[in-house]
Structure 1
């Protein structure tokens, strides 16, 4: 064990060998390190440190053909299969926009990156993995059977970082922002909320009023928000599946938001997990992490944008789900009916 209490790279590799079926994020937590430090211990063996620039990594992703994109936070994993295309670079925000892979990227949080090759029962797994300053996963890209494996080595060489050490220095995790409300500005919040023409205006409004998303939800009241039972998430997923409608499922972290647009067809709850197991789209949600659920209604030029949004006990946003209205088909009215039927939180009174 190193003097600072962090396991040595050799100790980390030994722990991986002793726990081959443990999820990497869970194993890292048990060792008191970040997931990026776990991966870094393999550099020179089965991992290569890369320059963590979104432009270069997205160019590689586009060249690799059909892959699986994975974005997660501590409570939910969002997986989409397809090809990366239509990438738009940006210093503060970038994006990938196509029917399969739909991402919003925040480059300042892309701080560490690796090309990883891992032996599995099904063969060698190859992936590009990106982490933030604290070493937490931001975005991962996994090659599939139909990927352009012949391009893998070319792009690993192109993106290779000059630093190929086994150890990695990470920063402390940023504290979770607690819910911030400003009851003195409630009237202004409600007046300005009613005048919104685009959902993106909402965070600008709350910041101006010295609130944040969850803090505003907690005081806004009907008709803008309704607090739902935490188990309403299960009801919502089942209702979307039965109705056969399309929805937009947003899952993100500080560095990336990943979006699925389409139906939810196959639900398989397992223990605390709510699982969507569809062709091209998988979602794995820790239902026991859901502490608050809100039905939210924001006016836009195209009509009401109704969402269901879940938060954990510390106030982190877990996911947002909206109705879909595009390509001549509008599932938003059916989605609004589903949301209207979800159970409100039962408030105990003396």
Structure 2
């Protein structure tokens, strides 16, 4: 059902008055529109449309100083404070490789950009063609507000005020039958990996979904575990201060937290990390599968815990903190292996 912007604006304002604590993403779902379409109702007031020169915009985000980066998927939100540093782009992906903010950017998915004022918070927000959020950058109390205002003025799009989103797409992968997979060749290729980043190439080569790959992996390299194993590992990393890497992503951005997690706070269906520089919000009740996964590398085996939803979409990956050329932490490896045996 098509809804004019003016009609949607009225519905949005009425809904917010009746439900003041609801977030825009949830309101969009309830009103059966996209988040970008709701933001567009504020154009000229609280929202400014940005030109689709996203790479140049991102290269200037460093000038904002200390900000909060937010990336989410359907069931997990990662929020990391820091400075955007070492920003670069290739035809395949963009990189932000700061000590605190670490991102992989897939710019072909980026389609709309806005600056947004909401409840005295200001942000840059980016969306795909369907109007689903890809990445958001929030100012903090110590951000450079003047640089933000300059950036918004420089990249304001005054020529394309209309926001037209594409229909929602079914992203669920239709798996081939297991019997149609070259399982032996796939398992040999898995065991021959030199880097965990090669895994995505194996999925494409052998036409596998991620969870199907985990099912058909060579012996000892994967094991299905329960949610409690993930929680036990997170709690142990918190109490023993074992540094981790937590990957949360969507089709346009992957955000990586590297470091300790300390304050774990369960709240209803949410598993939360509430640390000063890093917040994580994970919907426990939407996790359909949890796996302990081992991928070979030239630095030795790399162990991860991976969480998936009912459609086989990845929600979160957690590794021990490491860098290329350095073996993973023994404390992490022992913890994951001992917990997954339980």
* TM-score range normalised by the length of the shorter chain: over 0.9
Matched-pair contact (CA < 8 Å) for 1:109–1:255: yes
TM-score (norm 2): 0.93
Report deviation, 1:85: 1.2
Shift of 1:19: 2.5
How far apart are the structure 2 equivalents of 1:17 and 1:71? 27
Q: Check the 8 A contact 1:50/1:161 in 2, yes or no.
A: yes
Change (3 A) 1:48 1:338: same
Q: CA deviation at 1:209?
A: 1.4
Q: 1:322 aligns with which of 308, 319, 323?
A: 319
- Determine the structure 2 residue equivalent to 1:298: 295
2:111–2:127 Cα contact (<8 Å) kept: yes
1:157-198 deviation line (CA, Å, top 9, x unaligned): 111113453653333234222455644412111111111101
Partner of 1:193: 190
Check 1:159–1:324 CA distance in 2 against 1; reply closer, same or farther (3 A cut): same
How do residues 183-332 of structure 1 correspond to structure 2 at under 5 angstroms?
Answer: 183=179, 184-326=181-323, 332=329
Q: 1:173 aligned to 2:169?
A: yes
- 2:129 aligns with one of 127, 130, 133: 133
1:96 and 1:269 map into 2 onto residues whose CA distance is 30
Q: What residue number does 1:93 align with?
A: 93
Residue 26 (structure 1) shift: 0.4
Equivalent residue for 1:68? 68
Of 241-250 and 201-210, more deviation after overlay is shown by 201-210
Greater CA deviation, 268-277 or 185-194? 185-194
Once the two structures are TM-superposed, the CA of residue 297 in structure 1 deviates from its matched residue by 0.6
Shift of 1:134: 0.9
Question: Cα distance, 1:56 vs. partner?
Answer: 2.4
- Inter-CA distance 228–6: structure 2 relative to 1 (3 Å threshold): farther
Counterpart-to-counterpart distance in 2, 1:250 and 1:64: 24
Over 3 Å counting, the alpha-carbon distance change for 1:329 and 1:190 in structure 2 is closer
Q: Which residue of 2 aligns with 1:59?
A: 59
Corresponding position of 1:144: 140
Identify the residue that residue 18 of structure 1 maps to in structure 2. Answer: 18
User: 1:89 Cα shift?
Assistant: 1.7
Cα displacement (A) at 1:329: 8.5
Tell me which moved more, 161-170 or 230-239: 161-170
Of 5-14 and 291-300, deviating more is: 5-14
User: Secondary structure in 2 aligned to 1:284?
Assistant: strand
1:259-285 CA distance string (max 9 Å, x none): 000111110101110000112111000
Counterpart of 1:348?
Answer: none
Looking at structure 2, the residues matched to 17 and 153 of structure 1 have their Cα atoms a distance apart, in angstroms, of 29
Question: Which runs of no fewer than 5 residues in structure 1 stay unpaired?
Answer: 346-350
Q: State the Cα RMSD in Å.
A: 2.3
Structure 2: segments with no counterpart, 5+ residues? none
